Amino acid sequence: MWAERFSAPPLADACPTLVFVAHGGVLEPQAALLAASLHDAYVPAKVICRVMEPANHWGALRPDVANFLDQCGVEIRPLRNRIDDAYPHGNKIAALEGVSGRAVFLDTDMLLMVPFSTHQRLLGVAAAKPADVDTFSAGGGSWARVWSMFDRDVPAKIYTASISGETIRPYFNAGFVMASDGDALAGMWTEVAKRIDAEPSIVNKRPWLDQIALPVAFAELGWPVDDLTDAFNYPCHLADLGVMAPYFAHYHYTRVLAAQPKLAHRTRRLMAKYPALRAILKASGSDGWANLPDELANR
């Protein structure tokens, strides 16, 4: 279990605005579960959901989901993919667009496990967790080519991938990304991603483009990046929680929610506290969500 716990910020505005993405389909139950966990345990309750447009491409949110987000105090703001509507990962790249001040982008398939406000590691200019695996290099991607596009050498700093244990250069998991200026990061992240995406000599770009562009965007902004631990973005699909007590669990799949006792317990408690959440999950027809409430009740 991690020894360090959250520290109260010296100023209220040090608590970040939390931002996630939703649209019709599988992201609806994920968004509802995340919103419930944030309403239950995120003390400042500063939360935005970016709903993707156009609805005829992404799918409109069901009314029950939109109403539930509103009941959880989540502000809904529309957003368009700035890269390519055929590239869903691109939605997160612009998610902090128009969000002034300190902000955190969260993947929608995450769950806040414990009460939280902010942390000393989130009080700097930028923060992210090293990737679980260097998926870009593993598929033949060249970091030297990426950085040379921006007239930069590959940064000398060495990281350790959190799951594979391999030595990597700056490459972050984009499921939890903190920026002291959300709008500035969104603009630079988008610009860098577009340039990399358009460069034919860079291979193995999709779906990793968001993660490839992120360290370059930080460098172009001149922002030092504070390293985060798994406590902020625990890869539950790759490692059992065991005795760990993270802030945010990144579960990825409904089967993981059902298989891991801590995740199952947290989800059951949220459904008990928010009956509308259970109804939303039961009405969701994809990826095992409809069966999840009964499966958890029988465990």
Of all residues in the chain, the percent with pLDDT exceeding 70 is 96
Is the pLDDT at 2 greater than 80? The verdict is: no
pTM: 0.94
Q: For 257, list phi and psi in degrees, rounded to 5.
A: -60, -40
10-34 average pLDDT score: 89
Is the pLDDT at 162 greater than 90? The verdict is: no
Mapping DSSP onto H, E and C, the string for the chain reads CCCCCCCCCCCHHHCCEEEEEECCCCHHHHHHHHHHHHHHHECCCCEEEEEEECHHHHCCCCHHHHHHHHHCCCEEEEEECCCCCCCCCHHHHCCCCCCCCCEEEECCCEEECCCECCCHHHCCCEEEEECCCCHHHHCCCCHHHHHHHCCCCCCCCCEECCCCCCEECCCEEEEEEEECCHHHHHHHHHHHHHHHHCCCCCCCCCCCHHHHHHHHHHHHHCCCEEECCHHHCEECCCCCCCCCCCCEEECCCHHHHHHCHHHHHHHHHHHHHCHHHHHHHHCCCCCCCCCHHHHHHCC
Is the pLDDT at 286 greater than 90? The verdict is: no
Is the pLDDT at 152 greater than 60? The verdict is: yes
Higher pLDDT, 7 or 210: 210
pLDDT of residue 261: 95
Higher pLDDT, 245 or 5: 245
Residue corresponding to tokens 């703001």: 77
Q: Are 112 and 247 in contact (CB under 8 A)?
A: yes
57-67 average pLDDT score: 98
Rounded to whole angstroms, the Cα distance separating 262 from 272 reads 15
pLDDT digits (tens, 9 = 90+) for 167-214: 999 999 999 999 999 999 999 999 999 999 999 999 999 999 999 999
pLDDT digits (tens, 9 = 90+) for 71-124: 999 999 999 999 999 999 999 999 999 999 999 999 999 999 999 999 999 999
pLDDT of residue 108: 98
Higher pLDDT, 67 or 138: 67
pLDDT of residue 12: 53
**What interhelical angle do 209-221 and 182-197 show, nearest 10?**
120
- On average, the pLDDT of the chain sits at 93
125-151 average pLDDT score: 94
pLDDT of residue 13: 63
146-158 average pLDDT score: 96
Residues across the chain: 299
Q: The tokens of 24 are what?
A: 């019709």
**What interhelical angle do 261-273 and 27-41 show, nearest 10?**
80
pLDDT of residue 11: 45
Is the pLDDT at 46 greater than 90? The verdict is: yes
